[in-house]
Amino acid sequence: MNPRSLPTLLALASAGLCLAAAVAQETKPAAAEAAPRYTTKEPSRDGTGKVYMGRETAQVVGHGAVRWLERPEREREELPLEVVKNMDLRPTDVVADIGAGSGYFTFRIAPAVPQGKVIAVDIQQAMLDVVTERQKEAGLTNVETLLGQIDDTKLPAGQVDAVIMVDAYHEFSHPWEMMTSIVRGLKPGGRVILIEYRGEDPTVAIKPLHKMTQRQAIAEMRAVGLEHVETRDFLPSQHFMIFRKPAAAASQP
């Protein structure tokens, strides 16, 4: 072999090795990729078959359920006025009621924030129409409605002091995206009040997918950067859980 051709051969061999490495990199097995956020299973009764952090999301309650949502028994079953008292609101607070439905909680919160407001957010316009009708009847000026999307509350960034979700979070089809948009909408130090039927209590006679354990709820809130502040045990069948957006957090979780 001509000794002058040796460097050329070495250069070609090294280029070949680089190419092989690049091809191997591109064809790496899927196992090395991040796990998907959601998985699917055979849907259970009232379930969607979509699983987030080990929990199957529940089907959405339709607007035909307005009368059920407004049933008088809720006064003793869910103590709504005690709930509002425990929200520790200031008169100027901006509160977002996410998954507000017919506004059962919206209209009980509004008097507690006379210089602030309550934004009732829902994905069903028919629910928000009920809120608007009731708002006009009551002549309230501090209640607004906001039509959200299944994966976005549409809340303005950094404007909300407190978010409340009552019997709603478990039916969000995109819980991570919803919570991400909620965290974005909160002011630094803003709070999330999450109320769900107690999943770990077999005496609570509610369909399993419409209940949540505290452990599960805390894990899902932590996944978007919220801190668990405390859980208050004054409700007959539900957890009243308080979370906070860290004061120093940027607007994105």
Ligand X SMILES: C[S@@+](CC[C@H](N)C(=O)[O-])C[C@H]1O[C@@H](n2cnc3c(N)ncnc32)[C@H](O)[C@@H]1O
Kindly state the number of chain residues that form the binding site for ligand X, as judged by CB under 6 A. 22
Q: Which is nearer to ligand X, 216 or 238 (CB)?
A: 238
**Distance in Å, CB of 145 to ligand X, minimum:** 11
Q: What is the 3-state secondary structure (H, E, C) of 73-135?
A: CHHHHHCHHHHHHHCCCCCCCEEEEECCCCCCCHHHHHHHCCCCEEEEEECCHHHHHHHHHHH
In the range 168-207, which residues lie near ligand X by CB under 6 A?
168, 171-172, 178
In the range 14-43, which residues lie near ligand X by CB under 6 A?
none
Question: Residue 172: which of 217, 126, 129, 107 has the closest Cα?
Answer: 217
The site string for ligand X over 139-168 (x = CB under 6 A, - otherwise) reads ---------x-x---------------xxx
| Residue 193, burial from CB neighbour count under 10 angstroms (0-12, 13-18, 19+) | buried
Question: Residue 242: which of 175, 163, 157 has the closest Cα?
Answer: 163
The site string for ligand X over 44-63 (x = CB under 6 A, - otherwise) reads ----------------xx--
Q: 94, 100, 118, 226: which one contacts ligand X (CB under 6 A)?
A: 100
Q: Which is nearer to ligand X, 52 or 172 (CB)?
A: 172
Contact residues toward ligand X (CB under 6 A) are: 60-61, 69, 98-101, 104-105, 121-124, 127, 148, 150, 166-168, 171-172, 178
